Structure 1
Amino acid sequence: LCDAQVSLVIFSSLGKLSEYCSPSTTLSKILDRYQQNSGKKLWDATHENLSAEIDRIKKENDNMQIELRHLKGEDLNSLNPKELIPIEEGLQNGLTSVREKQMDFLKMLRKNERMLEEENKRLKYLLQHQQLAIEGSMRELEISYHQKDPEYADQM
């Protein structure tokens, strides 16, 4: 029994799972071997497909995490020059895109600034004309008042 592969699964009364496997194996390997030797299916094809899909997604996620670290400039020592070229090109493209967006935003701000300056000029012009109209009306009122009250004009 020295070379025997042993696996033990224990559930406590509270439902806590504990497992032990011989150092040379894993629980999955033991269960697969049991299934092959006994002919009993422990899980169906759907579960196996889901398990494979989960493994594939985990691997894809790990690869994306590595790629993200590389794009952030981390862990670059593990890459050779050929692997650095597409990263550099991707970063250059991203930088170009960001600069284009900034330029578009700056153009929009300048256009808005010109529009506001034009509106400001127009409003100043209207204000000036209204002030002139008010001053003219005030003069007319004063003249009309003086014409109606000649004593006031003599006092001046």
Structure 2
Amino acid sequence: MGRGRVQLKRIENKISRQVTFSKRRAGLLKKAKEISVLCDADVALIVFSPKGKLFEFATDSSMDRILERYERHTYAQQELLPTNSELEVNWCLEYPKLRNRIEVLQRNISHYMGDALDALSLRELQYLEQQIDTGLKRIRSRKNLLFQESISNLQKRERELEQQNNMLAKKVVRENEKELTERVQLEQQNRLALTSSPFILPPPPAPITLPLTIGNSFRASDPAMEEAGIPERPNINALLPPWMLRHLNE
């Protein structure tokens, strides 16, 4: 079972307090020695027992040197840190300077805007004009640089769009060629199937035009009937009796 956490308060029992001091002192000296060896640090440790006995530890450099170094460092820090009175004096001196600086800046801004120019002399106006010209040159230079960057980006975008357009055009051409090839192959297959099939219908016969009848009888001889192979029919007038012919004529 591990040891519980020790409550940090004064040990009332004198014997226990002395035993604890001896143990913790030995551990503290050991840790100081370890950190001086591992980290190559100058360590000085001073411990007084409850009875006033001194225990100390110092690295290779003596205790006096480490203490002198500590005093110099502390004194230098105190020299750097100003007191409250010095801070107040510094702020009182800085306030008028900062106020005058703000007024000068505001006046320069109004001059750059073209206001309050009556109080300026010829030399001051020339100096102001030179400053404005210098500022305009810098502004134009920056503007031209931004224009060039924008044009470069637009040209780059144009090239990318042209490449995409060319790729799409090539893709469309390939698809059209593929579709045309498939159509030609399908037509060839259909033609081959029609030519190789044994069941082929004969062509439809030519229409036969019959001769017109005049007076309820066919013509004596018609070339169209001869070409069609239709035999001539006998004259109906020669076969009917005379009284029937009179009746038909009426």
Q: Partner residue of 2:133?
A: 92
Contact 1:71 1:87 in 2 (8 A): yes
Alignment counterpart, residue 115 of structure 2, candidates 65, 74, 79: 74
2: CA distance between counterparts of 1:80 and 1:122? 63
Q: Partner residue of 2:240?
A: none
Query: How far 1:61 moved relative to its partner?
Result: 0.9
Contact 1:70 1:76 in 2 (8 A): yes
The aligned runs of 1:1-150 (5 Å cut-off) are 44-150=85-191
Pick closer, same or farther for the CA change 1:83–1:153 going to 2, 3 Å: farther
Aligned residues: 112
1: CA distance between counterparts of 2:117 and 2:87? 40
Contact 1:71 1:91 in 2 (8 A): yes
2: CA distance between counterparts of 1:98 and 1:53? 34
Contact 1:146 1:152 in 2 (8 A): no
User: Which stretches in structure 1 are left out of the alignment for 5+ residues?
Assistant: 1-42
Contact 1:146 1:153 in 2 (8 A): no
Which one-letter code corresponds to 1:64 in the other structure?
L
Tell me the alpha carbon deviations over residues 111-132 of structure 1, each in whole angstroms, 9 at most, x when there is no partner: 2232233223222222221111
Query: How far 1:44 moved relative to its partner?
Result: 3.7
Which one-letter code corresponds to 1:102 in the other structure?
K
TM-score (norm 2): 0.40
Calculate percent identity across the aligned residue pairs. Answer: 16
Q: Which structure has the highest helix share of the two?
A: 1
Cα RMSD between the aligned structures?
Answer: 2.4
Q: Partner residue of 2:43?
A: none
> Greater CA radius of gyration, 1 or 2?
2
SS in structure 2 of the partner of residue 77 of structure 1: coil
Instruction: Flag the structure with more relative contact order, 1 or 2, with Cα contacts below 8 A and sequence separation at least 6.
Output: 1
Q: Once structures 1 and 2 are overlaid, which stretch shifts more, 57-66 or 113-122?
A: 113-122
SS in structure 2 of the partner of residue 76 of structure 1: coil
